[in-house]
Amino acid sequence: MLKKVLVANRGEIAVRIMRACRELGVPSVAVYSDADASAPHVRAADEAVHIGAAPSAESYLRGERIIEAAQRTGADAVHPGYGFLAEREWFARAVRDAGLTFVGPPPEAIAAMGSKTAARTLAIAAGVPVVPGTTTALRDATEAREVAERFGFPVLLKAAAGGGGKGMRVVHASGDLAAALDAARREAKNAFGDDAVYVEKYIEGPRHVEIQILADAHGNVVSLGERECSVQRRHQKMIEEAPSVAVSPALRAEMGATAVRAARSAGYVSAGTCEFLLDRDGRFYFLEMNTRLQVEHPVTELVTGIDIVQWQLRVAAGERLSFTQDQVAPHGWAIECRITSEDPTNGFLPSTGRISHLQLPSGPGVRWDGGIETGSTIGLNYDPMLAKLIVWAPTRIEAIERMHRALLELTIEGVETSRDFHLRVMEDDDFRNGDIDIQWLERRLPSILAVAPPAGNLRIAAITGALIADQDRQRRARGGGALPGVASHGLVTSPAASTENGAAWRRVARIEALRPA
Ligand code: MV4
């Protein structure tokens, strides 16, 4: 096994990886910035190394400092988590060149999948279906017009260096091509320093379905089945589930075998994910491969019973996968909600502050992968994802009801979060019917946010507000100083928590009104 693993990340994923290390009996090393000196991931590790100032560019992106920290603490492996350095070919190479084990794919595989046009070429050679289109950059608008007319409008212009939707333009008619190509080029140049743009046929109303694979260094590659990731906003996934209502056992086997072929063609080792578009007619098209552990890996763990992070570590140590494809069978249903410090009622604006109160859900089938605690300060230096709430149940509808119940048990005070948004999605008829595609959330968002709280709760809110106002009046009559603050349960707490009567009133009213009967 590995001797000691440095986790080059923070937050929930660092904690998740350290848990896997603990279960394997492998000591872990945390790295942390000025902002994270007392963060949960630092205490979850056996030792910790300070690597710089709060901005990522001065800490979690400083590859050379992280490698130094590994060497100084005697770690023999580095797990990058997701984001930060996870898909930087140079970092995977630098870790290897330092004589350490990178807990992830070889740098060559990261490079092979990093360029979207190169990945398409590789996929085509491996017999993996891709969206009809080109595999080379467009020379000019004339060539773009020729190609588009061959495939038929609408088409999608995409950045070769892209991913995440940057440098993408849908074009519906020939007359719009030249301007769209200019815009896509400019955006690609700005985002990736590379203005190469290619064309694909635009697929309308598809689902985003991805296949998790696991590969060892002995040539064994298995598929762990699909995740449905269509519930997203501006390329940020909000809710993921496994399996997908749109995938039959036969389609699962076919998509799985396809993902395994794509992974093999890149010489892949470790955990990885092939992203597909699944169209309304059940045809699927390879988009790209994510050469890292993904945020949403837990839903696959819950339906397969396979600990993906533990296997990443075991495979990195040279172990063989102990199971074969025919031993992998999804069982039941898992759903994940990303709990972010964003305010859905305010355009998902990031919210900052101190977590003043945190009450976590538990009970049957509930998993919390978090990186926060009471007292955590949420700033703007890092991703707003605070934690993931994941549930498992025998069927999809039971998983939805269980998620709804678990969200009701969750209280986060001090910052705005996505909790109430998730409650509304769990109540939504389209979502409950599985009737979703990649545009569903953006179409549905206005009505989700407009849902009125149940009438009974408005009454509770009014009574609570009246009680607080009355308590405030009594306090003033006694000559008490500051007005009380209010805890999540609506009872008056410390006088320091809030100083404005109206604000406290409104806050209680809002909290109570959003708490369904
Ligand atoms: C597409 C597409 C429709 N047709 N390609 C978005 C990010 C990048 N990974 C690929 N993306 C898309 N490629 C064709 N030919 C629609 C999207 C897309 C999308 C894909 C997955 C998840 C969410 C999405 C949201 C908008 C557009």
Q: Which active-site residues does the annotation give? A: 292
Closest ligand 1 atom number to CA of residue 165: 7
- Kindly tell me if the per-residue pLDDT of 363 is higher than 70: yes
Among 259, 271, 238, CA closest to 344 = 238
Closest ligand 1 atom number to CA of residue 164: 7
The reply to whether ligand 1 has any atom less than 6 angstroms from the CB of 202 is yes
* Residues above pLDDT 70, as percent of the chain: 92
- Kindly tell me if the per-residue pLDDT of 47 is higher than 50: yes
The alpha-helical segments, DSSP class H, found in 152-235 are: 177-192
- Work out the pLDDT band at 67, boundaries 50, 70, 90: very high
Among protein residues, the one whose CA lies closest to atom 7 of ligand 1: 165
Amino acid at 12: E
Number of Cβ within a 10 Å radius of residue 144: 24
Q: What is the mean pLDDT of residues 396-404?
A: 98
The reply to whether ligand 1 has any atom less than 6 angstroms from the CB of 162 is no
- Work out the pLDDT band at 214, boundaries 50, 70, 90: very high
* Cis omega (within 30 of 0) for bond into 107: no
Record the pTM: 0.90
CA geometry: angle 292, 295, 296, nearest 5 deg: 110
- Work out the pLDDT band at 474, boundaries 50, 70, 90: confident
What pLDDT was estimated at residue 446?
Answer: 95
Phi/psi of residue 377, nearest 5 degrees: -100, 130
- In the chain, helix, strand, coil percent, each to 5? 40, 25, 35
Q: What is the mean pLDDT of residues 54-66?
A: 98
- Kindly tell me if the per-residue pLDDT of 492 is higher than 90: no
Which of 240, 276, 437, 438 to mutate for ligand 1's pocket (most ligand atoms within 8 Å of CB)? 438
Structure tokens at 226: 């699909």
> What tens digit of pLDDT does each residue of 260-299 get?
999 999 999 999 999 999 999 999 999 999 999 999 999 9
Please report, to the nearest 10 degrees, the dihedral formed by the alpha carbons of residues 64, 69, 72, 73 taken in order.
-150
Among 467, 499, 465, CA closest to 480 = 499
The reply to whether ligand 1 has any atom less than 6 angstroms from the CB of 155 is no
What pLDDT was estimated at residue 406?
Answer: 98
* Residues above pLDDT 90, as percent of the chain: 83
What pLDDT was estimated at residue 471?
Answer: 84
Closest ligand 1 atom number to CA of residue 232: 23
**Residue 451: partners with Cβ closer than 8 Å, 6 or more residues away:** 424, 427
The reply to whether ligand 1 has any atom less than 6 angstroms from the CB of 208 is yes
> What tens digit of pLDDT does each residue of 8-31 get?
999 999 999 999 999 999 999 999
- Kindly tell me if the per-residue pLDDT of 513 is higher than 70: no
- Work out the pLDDT band at 68, boundaries 50, 70, 90: very high
Q: How would you label 318-340 residue by residue, b for 16+ Cβ within 10 Å and e otherwise?
A: eeebeeebeebebebbbbbbbbb
Torsional sign, CA 183, 188, 189, 190: positive
Whole-number Å distance, alpha carbon 111 to ligand 1 midpoint, is: 21
Q: Tell me how far apart the alpha carbons of residues 517 and 513 are, in angstroms, rounded to a whole number.
A: 10
What pLDDT was estimated at residue 490?
Answer: 47
Q: Tell me how far apart the alpha carbons of residues 213 and 492 are, in angstroms, rounded to a whole number.
A: 51
The reply to whether ligand 1 has any atom less than 6 angstroms from the CB of 205 is no
Among protein residues, the one whose CA lies closest to atom 10 of ligand 1: 165
Among 212, 260, 209, 215, CA closest to 231 = 209
**Residue 395: partners with Cβ closer than 8 Å, 6 or more residues away:** 332, 333
What pLDDT was estimated at residue 463?
Answer: 83
> What tens digit of pLDDT does each residue of 430-470 get?
999 999 999 999 999 999 998 776 667 777 778 888 888 88
Among protein residues, the one whose CA lies closest to atom 17 of ligand 1: 165
Among 352, 332, 328, 329, CA closest to 340 = 352
What pLDDT was estimated at residue 462?
Answer: 81
- Work out the pLDDT band at 396, boundaries 50, 70, 90: very high
Whole-number Å distance, alpha carbon 53 to ligand 1 midpoint, is: 35
Amino acid at 457: N
What pLDDT was estimated at residue 476?
Answer: 84
> What tens digit of pLDDT does each residue of 89-140 get?
999 999 999 999 999 999 999 999 998 999 999 999 999 999 999 999 999 8
Q: What is the mean pLDDT of residues 419-440?
A: 97
- Work out the pLDDT band at 497, boundaries 50, 70, 90: very low
Among protein residues, the one whose CA lies closest to atom 11 of ligand 1: 165
